[in-house]
Structure 1
Amino acid sequence: MPVQYSIVIPAYNESARIGRALIEVVRSVEKNGWNAEVLVVNDGSSDDTAAIVRAFAANHPIIRLIENDGNRGKGYSVRHGMLEAAGSVVMFTDADLSSPMDEAERLFGALREGADVAIGSRWLDRGRQTIHQPIYRQFFGRCFNAVTRMVMRLPFADTQCGFKAFTRSAAQTVFQLQRIERWGFDPEILFIALKRGYQVREVPVTWGHDERSRISYLKDGIKMLEELVYIRWNAFIGSYNREVKEFVPQMPPAKG
């Protein structure tokens, strides 16, 4: 039976969290009866992330480990996994599962109702936040989102939530055109989706802040602002207008 849902998890030095994440993802898959695969993209980790995933996959055949050729960045890892996915619906989530995996059904529901892209939002319904960010993180995050909305003309309350789902057609187009390989890829994929005429729906999701978040709002924030200019330049020179063909995933050989 063809895979219906592909769940992509980018992972860099996630040995402290990836085991729990996989337990929760598999639990959700079984609870909801999803016909799913889980792709963990190891971004050149120097810890035991890959070993933990391999050990878990030995007992759960829906899990597949994908290796990057070194540390390439979150954007590259998401793109790598999304293009290797076999599902008719493809989503990605962070390894910290700040949005519980069961919330994916809210994204899938939006796609069933006609959206091409469904993005989780922390800000459409703040009552769904279980653990709030520190005030300084909220301030910088909202400031960056405001600048992003202004520069990119993106009509979304939350562009950065790492919980997004795509129809296969939308994923194939958007992620083949994606150029940014690190933290600033979220505005780019939303910009591409709108530019290519896809319907993007923002969905409020339950979300809880994880103190172990690695993003630096000063250093990474400055870099992401640079990348907004890069997105605009790519749009100006037509990088997002080119035709794309179906990407054929490199599926692992059959066992037995």
Structure 2
Amino acid sequence: MKPDISIIVPAFAEEARLGESVRLISSYLEGTGTNSELIVVDDGSKDNTAQTAESAFTNFPHLDSKVIQYDTNRGKGFAVKTGLLAARADIALFSVADLSTPIEEMPKLIEPIKQAICDVSFGSRAIDRSLIGTHQPWRREQGGRVMNLIIKTMTGLPFLDTQCGFKAFNMTKFRPLLEVMTIDRFGFDVEFLFVAN
């Protein structure tokens, strides 16, 4: 049966925390009865990232899940695109492995797409910082704010936080855009918002 939602988790060298993240996502999906698939994309990790995900999946045998793995690190953008291209649902969401935005926030992104209000939705650390599950170090958070200001100025995009690793897509509309996107590493988020806009 085709899932309603595909969740993609790009992961690079995430052996230490990925098992817990997969457990939290899987528990949430099972608890809500969401017809979904969970795809972990191991972006060329040299540790046991893929094996950690596969091991965590064994605790949720009814969840449609898989690991996509390749040998060379290609960047978060490439990992996200790989997962999105493998997604079978009409709506896909990607969440970074640290779950800095709690998976319980997923309906806030999915519902506007289901209701055809928008085709892309994403979290923003600039709107309500209290919802951030895992804060970055202070310098990194401040650097992110400066970077978002620069991006907004250079591209004219109206978004407060282009780099938040919690985004959802109408795959019917977004899948063709994946073919024209060229950035695999830093800047992937900006490119996809620019192309989608």
TM over 0.5: yes
Q: Please list, as runs of the form range in 1=range in 2, the aligned pairs for 1:99-248 lying within 5 A after superposition.
A: 99-113=101-115, 114-129=117-132, 132-194=135-197
8 Å contact kept, 1:83–1:171: no
1:127 Cα deviation (Å)?
A: 4.0
Alignment RMSD: 1.6
1:130 Cα deviation (Å)?
A: 5.6
Describe the shift of the 1:140–1:45 C-alpha distance in structure 2 as closer, same or farther (beyond 3 A). same
1:34 alignment counterpart: 34
1:25 Cα deviation (Å)?
A: 0.7
Which amino acid letter does the alignment assign opposite residue 24 of structure 1? L
1:96 aligns with 2:98: yes
Describe the shift of the 1:129–1:3 C-alpha distance in structure 2 as closer, same or farther (beyond 3 A). closer
Cα distance in 2 between the residues matched to 1:75 and 1:134: 22
SS for the counterpart of 1:72 is coil
8 Å contact kept, 2:99–2:133: no
Cα distance in 1 between the residues matched to 2:71 and 2:139: 35
Which is worse superposed, 147-156 or 131-140? 131-140
Which amino acid letter does the alignment assign opposite residue 107 of structure 2? E
1:34 Cα deviation (Å)?
A: 0.9
Describe the shift of the 1:42–1:131 C-alpha distance in structure 2 as closer, same or farther (beyond 3 A). closer
Cα distance in 2 between the residues matched to 1:67 and 1:132: 28
Which 5+ residue runs of structure 1 have no aligned equivalent? 195-256
The structure with more radius of gyration: 1
Say how many residue pairs are matched: 194
**TM-score, length-scaled by structure 1:** 0.71
8 Å contact kept, 1:8–1:39: yes
Describe the shift of the 1:131–1:86 C-alpha distance in structure 2 as closer, same or farther (beyond 3 A). closer
Which amino acid letter does the alignment assign opposite residue 109 of structure 1? E
**TM-score, length-scaled by structure 2:** 0.92
SS for the counterpart of 1:22 is helix
2:86 alignment counterpart: 84
Cα distance in 1 between the residues matched to 2:89 and 2:138: 38
Cα distance in 2 between the residues matched to 1:131 and 1:12: 17
Deviations 1:181-216 (A, max 9, x none): 11211000000101xxxxxxxxxxxxxxxxxxxxxx
Among residues 39, 63, 66, which one is paired with 1:64 in the alignment?
66
1:13 Cα deviation (Å)?
A: 1.1
